[in-house]
Each structure stands twice: as structure tokens, then as C-alpha cells.
Chains A and B, each alone.
Chain A
């Protein structure tokens, strides 16, 4: 596939976004209005612009990544727009602004990071770590102090930061950016220490275990994850951070013991938090028996299953279902909303597109010759894949529901910014390795 074909798929995905909006309008008995053209235009500017940025800054990058990402964003966007009409909210226009901002920042990322500057991430990783940890802890700022930057509690979780600039306020989830920084830090750390980590290990039976001393980074990350779980009540970010780290540790060293130890620590933390926190207990109850607890804990999952089941094979049609009946449909449950209106065809397409993005990301990691870049690409892809599997798996009842967003599709500016920068990093690495 060539760069031109990538451009064509981006235009096609933009048409899909505009067409989706038009179909929703038609189904809702509204005339097809300026929203259709506006949506198409914003997609072309944002992703077409990103395409041009790739041509300029990373011309040898894989052409397989941007198309699927645009398509996923389009599928998510049309549901966000559709839910606006049902709920009277105004999220679609925010999302469009964020799309432009995110694409701009992603382009900037590609401009700034070249072969030499990317190694700055490795060398000064402690600064990245510091910034990331500050970002992670930002939502714990007091909610009511005079400072323009405050914490914000949404649905019982402390994930948000509110920035008051006088005439207006911005809300964002700093964890979405912190996850990139943490992956970069870990990739840098492991790139420098992987040989030592790999050699210092002993075998117990068929499983290789690291030296006890080498487990310290694992334990630190575990501690941070548990801290996030306690202080912010954010099961999703906590799990994502820990699982991503363990996978990367294994990828870097090939030491199976890390998976075993990580699994053990994960189970310990899981059981302990189940016993300690009722919000974790509620998630487990809702996961195991949503219909038996339909009136309270299970309601959201049950509604998601009803939505997807009613959508069945071909879906209710854009604008013709009732995804507005699912609580938090445009954020956590956007996958179920797509499943209701586009049916099995839609959900399989979404899973296939994510699998494609992950496959391309892993391919970039495989082909990287530089250890840091390889680990960075692998880590970013792991995070993307684990996040997708966790949230979709939570909706389809494979795992307990964790309140995280579905990359590219869920409503939310900071998530879109974080994930498009993630894509920009992958593209940049891809460009380096094709040389």
C-alpha cells in the first residue's frame, strides 16, 4: 500500500463519518444539515493534515496505520453525534475541536521527534517519569481551592483535572498523557538494563525467575498502581499501568518469571481490593450476574447487553436504536452503542480494525533495530491493545468492567490527544526503521 492509498482511505473514512451523521439526521427526521459537511471537513482537515504531516516528517512510515485509526474515530464520532441528539448534549462539536487539536499535537510530535531527539526520551527518562507521576497525581489536587488548576470528581472517580482560565474552563484526564510518558520511561529503563536483567536470573523448573533485587521496579510499579486504585478509585488506569509494565518487562527480558510474579501480585492486589473496596465489589457483582442485579450494580452492563443483543446481526440502523438508554454510552460504553445501531457487522469491524492497528504496531516493534525504539513501539502497542481488550471485554463480560475509554472512539479530548500522539510515535518509529 502506498502513501496515496493511505490518503484515499482517510478520505473514505471521512466520508463515512459525514455519511454516518447524515444517516442519523435522516433517521431522526431532521433534514440533512451543515453537520454532515462540517464533520466531513473536520475529519479531512485533522486526519488529512496528519497524513500530510507523515508525508513531510515520516515519509517512510507504514501507510497502514492512519486509515484504520481514522475509521475507528469516524465510527466513534457518529455515535457521539447520535447520542447528542437523543440526550440533548453537545459533545460532538467539542470532540471535533479536540480532533483538530489532537491531530495538530500529533503532527507536532512527528516534527519534534527525529532520530536524535527520540533518544532524548531515553536519556532524560527520569524527567519524563517525574512529569508523568505529577500528571497521574494531578487529579488529587483539592477540588475547592483558589488555584486555577483543581481536581475534579466524576462518577466517584478522581480522574479529572479542571483548568480555570477565567473566561472558560477546560477538563482533562492527565492519565491519558501520563501513560505515554510512563511507557517511554519504562522502555528507556529496560533498554539500558535489559542485558543485566536478562542475565541475572535463575531457573526454578522450566520457569526463569529474576534475582529478587531485580523485582524492585516491578514492585514499585505495583505500588503506584495500587496507589492510583486507592486515591483515585480508578480500576482501569491502575490495571492498564500494571499490565502494560509487566508485558513490557517480559518483552525486554524474556523472563517468564516476570509474568508469574506479575500475575501473582495482580491477583493479590485484586483479591485485597475486592475485600477492601465496595466499588470493586460492585464491579465484580455486575460482571458475574448483571441480570440478577439489574436494578443497581448490573444495570449498565445489562443495558449494554440488551443494546447489543437487540442490534443483533445488522443493527437497528444509524439513529434508529436507543443507545441513549445505556448509562455513559458515549464514553465507556460506546462499543455497545455501536453494537446496537450497526449490529454484529459493526462490532466485528471495530474489533478487526483494532486488531489491525495492534498488528501494525507490533510489526513496527518487530522490525525496529534499536532496542529503545523497539520497546517503545511494543509498549505503546501493548497499552493500546490491553486498553481495548479491557474495556470491550468489560462490556461483553469477559472481565469485570473497568472505567476506561475505548481508544479513538470514546468521547473525550485528552484521550484523543494521548492516543493520536501514541499513533504519531509509532509512525515516527516506523519511519526510522524503514530507512
Chain B
């Protein structure tokens, strides 16, 4: 009788063995996936009330911190002292509605490693710090506040970067929200309200929304023309009333409806300064999609930009345009399917300012521990050369003329040489998206900006880049140069 019992016991122990294998699968091999499942609220629950690291701007302004909960001395509450001004960059870490921004991208670094478990002891024995790490971010608080105020609650986005390093000096999206309101017990209701708001306060119009760049894209086309030698500033172009789109009965006309110069001819420089659409449509068809595409891609189009969060790619659809000359002509003035976020257009301006080398934008300067010691510092590496230094130099002169005598005169700052380019692209319902991109000072550029105001009825149908976006650039450049002499 022991024989059958023995055989059965083998079966039973096979059963126990199967339990062990399954438990190993669940708790060891597949544990991370189960932990990360969005329906599993445990990781978020265990973060609640724990200390998180600081976020400090380069000028020492605290934009996120944990303070002791007055109601429970062992628990912490998260504060965002700068509120809506930094909302899209700083983000939030909410138990009820999830996390976003740097709070999400650097969740591992910012969280406390103190779990009150045996692993704490091991960590301490290994000499590691349980306290959360903090972020030093590249933004300048004054510039950020000024940029947010300049948008005045209108829909829009502003990005300012240091052209020589790529450090993002300001990244603002308007309208905004106070991230602290997403931390309370009523977070879900607040969230629903923000989602339902027709002005889309949760959208990040600085780095995560793309728009047609309009005439500000002429900077890219001009760079391609100069770089390939297809044209120089004095190259003569016809000056028609309308540009006939190849293979189509449709035409491109100029802002205001007239000719750009005398109706006979116009130089590339003149066309750039007055933002002549017919010339750039013509130039674009002459250059072809491939040559413009090479420059555009070196400036960050059709490219994944490394950033704390996923930045949508700026679009210049080379293949489609090479088969469609009409679309190619329209793309030459930043319309049709061309798209970019203010971040991308700030990179275009920065590349011209930086002698033709496109910098890689970055937001986090360094990670430091609770003692203030640097854990990791970020050394920016440029994305690469987009144009020859000579091209950048000529283009800078052309951009300066835009500000001194062209469409961008409102961007002028007394005593400072400013380079820029305006744009006004077609938004929904025929309303305009005004743009301005530029940099200063020309001798040694320390700031490159891109300003977008998104089409809206509040902005009106007659708003233009030179009219509403350029003055903001002037204010920001002036403020920045006063702050960093």
C-alpha cells in the first residue's frame, strides 16, 4: 500500500512545486510589470505622504518642495510655491490623477527610499542615502514669471534657451493650472474641470503641442538656400502679385495682398525682411524638399528630441513634399503640413545664434542629494551642425534687418542688437497663430526665444507675429540681459 501512497506523494509535491514556480513568476519575474500596472494603486498609495525631493531653479527659487504635514508629523505634503507659472514643467504627483512633468520623469530620484523595511537597513549598510534626491532645473524664475505674465492668460507658449548650451531658460504654457489643486481629496473633480475647459489649461503649448510655424519657418528655408549656395542675400527673385502653385490653379499671395517690392524684382534679403510669401514659395520649389529637409532635420525637425518627456516631432514631410510641388511651395512659408512646437523654433533661432550648431535643449542641470552634493550633472552635447558658420553669420544679419526695419520692429530693444523673424500661420476657423523667433545680443548671443500665440477669438483675426509676439520677445530679451550683464 505504500507504493500508491508514494506515487501520490510525488504528485502532491509536484503540486507544491507548481505553486513555487507560479509564486516565483508573480513575485520575482513578473513583479515589476504587476507593480507598474496603472490599475495597481499600491505604489502610488505607498508614495502618499512620503517626503519628495526639491526642485530648485538655477537662480535658487524653490518650485517644488515637501513640508511636514501639520496634521501628521510623520507625513509630508507637497507644495508648489510658484503655482501655475511652472505647472507644465514641474508637473504633479497626485495619488488620484497620476503624475506629469518632472515629478513624473524623475519620480525615481525624487522619491524617498525610506520604506521602513529590512531593505532600508541594507541600503544604509551599503552607505547609500535613503533621503530623496533633488533637481536643479535650468529655468530662470524671473524670466519664467515674465513670460507667463506676457501671455496674459491668452492661449500660447514661450520657450527661451541659452543658445550656446541648450539650457532651457523659460518654458511657459498659457493658460495654466495650479498643480497643488490636483493633490487634494477633490483632485478628480478639479481634473475633470481642467479637462472640460475649452482653453485646454492642461496642454503644454511650449513643448508638447505642435503648430504650423508660418513665416518663422522662412528662417529654415533661407538657411537651406544660403547653405547650399542656391541663393545669397542679393539674389534677385521675381516680385509677382501672386505665386501660381505648380500643377494647380490655386495661388499664394502676400500679407496685405500686394506685391512685396516694386512688382519687378526683389532680393532674398528684402523678401526675408518684409516676409514675402511669393518669394519663399518660389525659392522653396527651386530648392526642393530634400535640400530644405536636410537643413530642417539638422535643426530638429522629424527628429526625436531627448527631453524629460516625449516631445512630439516637429514635422517637415520630405517624401510627401518631393512629389507635390504645390504643397512644397506652401510648406516654404511654414503652412500646409509643417508643424513645430515653440521648443523646436527656439532651437532654430539658437542654432543660428550658435554659429550654425543646433544645441540639445535640456531642463535639468543636476541632481543633488540631501547634503547638496551633486549626484549627477548634465553636460549638454550639441545635436550637430545645421549650417556653415558663414551661413549662420549671413542669416543673423538678415534677421537683424527684420528687427531694425522689417516685420519684427516691435522686437527692438534700445542699445541691444536683436535678430528675429516673425510668422503668422493659419489656425482653425481662419484665425491667425502669431509667432516670433529670435535671439540677442548678436555679438554674443545669450538668449534665443520662440513665442507662439495660439489662434483664438480673444486674440482676434488681425493679430500678427510682428504685432503681438515680437513685443513679448523685446520684453524678455531686455529682462534677461538686465539680469545677466
Cβ 8 A contact of A389, one of B6, B15, B24: B15
Chain B residues lying within 8 Å of A294, measured Cβ to Cβ, are 39
Chain A residues lying within 8 Å of B117, measured Cβ to Cβ, are 314-317, 320
User: Does B22 count as interface, using CB distance less than 8 angstroms?
Assistant: yes
Task: Decide: A325 and B41 in contact? CB cutoff 8 A.
Answer: yes
Q: In the assembly, what is the distance between CA of A385 and CA of B5, in Å?
A: 13
Task: Decide: A358 and B12 in contact? CB cutoff 8 A.
Answer: yes
B28 to chain A, nearest CB (A): 6
Task: Decide: B28 and A317 in contact? CB cutoff 8 A.
Answer: no
A374-B35 contact, Cβ under 8 Å, with A307-B42, A351-B19, A389-B12: no
User: Does A50 count as interface, using CB distance less than 8 angstroms?
Assistant: no
User: Does A219 count as interface, using CB distance less than 8 angstroms?
Assistant: no
User: Does B127 count as interface, using CB distance less than 8 angstroms?
Assistant: no
Task: Decide: A320 and B46 in contact? CB cutoff 8 A.
Answer: yes
A361 to chain B, nearest CB (A): 9
* Of B4, B13, B33, B119, most A-chain CB atoms within 10 Å: B4
- Which of A113-121, A229-237, A342-350 contacts the other chain? A342-350
Task: Decide: B42 and A344 in contact? CB cutoff 8 A.
Answer: no
Q: In the assembly, what is the distance between CA of A253 and CA of B5, in Å?
A: 10
Chain B residues lying within 8 Å of A53, measured Cβ to Cβ, are none
Chain A residues lying within 8 Å of B2, measured Cβ to Cβ, are 366
Cβ 8 A contact of B1, one of A252, A302, A309, A385: A252
Chain B proximity mask over A358-373: 1 for CB below 8 Å, otherwise 0: 1100100110000100
Nearest neighbor of A336 in chain B, beta-carbon distance: B26
User: Does A223 count as interface, using CB distance less than 8 angstroms?
Assistant: no
Chain B residues lying within 8 Å of A250, measured Cβ to Cβ, are 4, 8
Nearest neighbor of B18 in chain A, beta-carbon distance: A398
Q: In the assembly, what is the distance between CA of A365 and CA of B3, in Å?
A: 12
Task: Decide: A314 and B119 in contact? CB cutoff 8 A.
Answer: yes
Chain A proximity mask over B418-450: 1 for CB below 8 Å, otherwise 0: 000000000000000000000000000000000
Nearest neighbor of B9 in chain A, beta-carbon distance: A362
User: Does B307 count as interface, using CB distance less than 8 angstroms?
Assistant: no
Task: Decide: B40 and A310 in contact? CB cutoff 8 A.
Answer: yes
Nearest neighbor of A310 in chain B, beta-carbon distance: B42
Q: In the assembly, what is the distance between CA of A309 and CA of B25, in Å?
A: 9
**Interface set, chain B 27-50, CB cutoff 8 A to A:** 27-28, 30-35, 37, 39-43, 45-46
* Of B6, B39, B43, most A-chain CB atoms within 10 Å: B39
Cβ 8 A contact of A306, one of B13, B15, B42, B119: B42
Q: In the assembly, what is the distance between CA of A340 and CA of B8, in Å?
A: 32
Chain B proximity mask over A300-341: 1 for CB below 8 Å, otherwise 0: 001001111111111111001110010000000000000110
Chain A proximity mask over B256-268: 1 for CB below 8 Å, otherwise 0: 0000000000000
Nearest neighbor of B33 in chain A, beta-carbon distance: A309
* Of B12, B30, B32, B117, most A-chain CB atoms within 10 Å: B12
User: Does B74 count as interface, using CB distance less than 8 angstroms?
Assistant: yes
Nearest neighbor of A319 in chain B, beta-carbon distance: B116
Chain A residues lying within 8 Å of B46, measured Cβ to Cβ, are 316, 320, 322
Task: Decide: A312 and B19 in contact? CB cutoff 8 A.
Answer: no
Task: Decide: A320 and B115 in contact? CB cutoff 8 A.
Answer: yes
Q: In the assembly, what is the distance between CA of A143 and CA of B117, in Å?
A: 47
Q: In the assembly, what is the distance between CA of A307 and CA of B41, in Å?
A: 10
Task: Decide: A251 and B1 in contact? CB cutoff 8 A.
Answer: yes
Task: Decide: B26 and A309 in contact? CB cutoff 8 A.
Answer: yes
Size band of the interface chain A makes with B: 35 or more
Nearest neighbor of A295 in chain B, beta-carbon distance: B39
User: Does A396 count as interface, using CB distance less than 8 angstroms?
Assistant: yes
User: Does A354 count as interface, using CB distance less than 8 angstroms?
Assistant: yes
A26 to chain B, nearest CB (A): 8
Chain B proximity mask over A24-66: 1 for CB below 8 Å, otherwise 0: 0001010000000000000000000000000000000000000
Task: Decide: A371 and B27 in contact? CB cutoff 8 A.
Answer: no
User: Does A382 count as interface, using CB distance less than 8 angstroms?
Assistant: yes
Q: In the assembly, what is the distance between CA of A365 and CA of B159, in Å?
A: 79
Nearest neighbor of B11 in chain A, beta-carbon distance: A247
Task: Decide: B19 and A396 in contact? CB cutoff 8 A.
Answer: yes
User: Does B481 count as interface, using CB distance less than 8 angstroms?
Assistant: no
Task: Decide: A365 and B18 in contact? CB cutoff 8 A.
Answer: no
Task: Decide: B15 and A310 in contact? CB cutoff 8 A.
Answer: no
Q: In the assembly, what is the distance between CA of A392 and CA of B1, in Å?
A: 29
Chain A proximity mask over B443-475: 1 for CB below 8 Å, otherwise 0: 000000000000000000000000000000000
A389-B8 contact, Cβ under 8 Å, with A294-B39, A307-B42, A315-B117: no
Chain B residues lying within 8 Å of A69, measured Cβ to Cβ, are none
User: Does B118 count as interface, using CB distance less than 8 angstroms?
Assistant: yes
Cβ 8 A contact of A309, one of B8, B18, B35, B74: B35
The binding surface of chain A is classed by DSSP as helix
Cβ 8 A contact of A392, one of B4, B12, B19, B41: B19
Task: Decide: A309 and B23 in contact? CB cutoff 8 A.
Answer: no
Q: In the assembly, what is the distance between CA of A124 and CA of B45, in Å?
A: 58
Task: Decide: B27 and A308 in contact? CB cutoff 8 A.
Answer: yes
A421 to chain B, nearest CB (A): 21
User: Does A103 count as interface, using CB distance less than 8 angstroms?
Assistant: no
User: Does A239 count as interface, using CB distance less than 8 angstroms?
Assistant: no
Chain A residues lying within 8 Å of B4, measured Cβ to Cβ, are 250-254
Cβ 8 A contact of B35, one of A254, A310, A389, A398: A310
User: Does B20 count as interface, using CB distance less than 8 angstroms?
Assistant: yes
A27 to chain B, nearest CB (A): 6
A374-B45 contact, Cβ under 8 Å, with A305-B26, A389-B12: no
Nearest neighbor of B25 in chain A, beta-carbon distance: A396
Task: Decide: A351 and B23 in contact? CB cutoff 8 A.
Answer: yes
A393-B18 contact, Cβ under 8 Å, with A251-B8, A322-B42: yes
Task: Decide: B16 and A322 in contact? CB cutoff 8 A.
Answer: no
Chain B residues lying within 8 Å of A340, measured Cβ to Cβ, are 42
* Of B6, B8, B18, B22, most A-chain CB atoms within 10 Å: B8
Chain A residues lying within 8 Å of B9, measured Cβ to Cβ, are 358-359, 362
Chain B residues lying within 8 Å of A307, measured Cβ to Cβ, are 42
B1 to chain A, nearest CB (A): 6
Task: Decide: A385 and B20 in contact? CB cutoff 8 A.
Answer: no
A184 to chain B, nearest CB (A): 17
Q: In the assembly, what is the distance between CA of A348 and CA of B19, in Å?
A: 9
Task: Decide: B20 and A397 in contact? CB cutoff 8 A.
Answer: no
Task: Decide: A322 and B5 in contact? CB cutoff 8 A.
Answer: no
Task: Decide: A308 and B15 in contact? CB cutoff 8 A.
Answer: no
Nearest neighbor of A344 in chain B, beta-carbon distance: B27
A190 to chain B, nearest CB (A): 10
A306-B12 contact, Cβ under 8 Å, with A312-B27, A315-B117: no
Task: Decide: A365 and B27 in contact? CB cutoff 8 A.
Answer: no
Chain B residues lying within 8 Å of A389, measured Cβ to Cβ, are 12, 15-16, 18-19
Chain A residues lying within 8 Å of B13, measured Cβ to Cβ, are 355, 358-359
Measuring CB to CB, which residues of chain A are less than 8 angstroms from any residue of chain B?
27, 29, 194, 247, 250-254, 291, 294, 302, 305-317, 320-322, 325, 339-340, 343-344, 347-348, 351, 354-355, 358-359, 362, 365-366, 371, 374-375, 378, 382, 385-386, 388-389, 392-393, 396-398
Please name 11 pairs of A and B residues whose Cβ atoms are closer than 8 Å in the assembled complex, sorted by A.
A305-B34, A309-B32, A314-B117, A317-B115, A317-B118, A325-B42, A344-B24, A365-B5, A366-B5, A388-B16, A393-B22
Given A322-B41, A340-B42, A355-B16: 13 more A-B contacts, CB < 8 Å: A250-B8, A251-B4, A306-B40, A308-B34, A312-B35, A313-B27, A322-B45, A362-B5, A385-B16, A388-B16, A389-B16, A393-B18, A397-B22
Which 9 pairs show the lowest CB-CB distances between chains A and B?
A309-B34, A396-B22, A312-B31, A317-B117, A306-B40, A344-B27, A389-B15, A254-B4, A310-B42
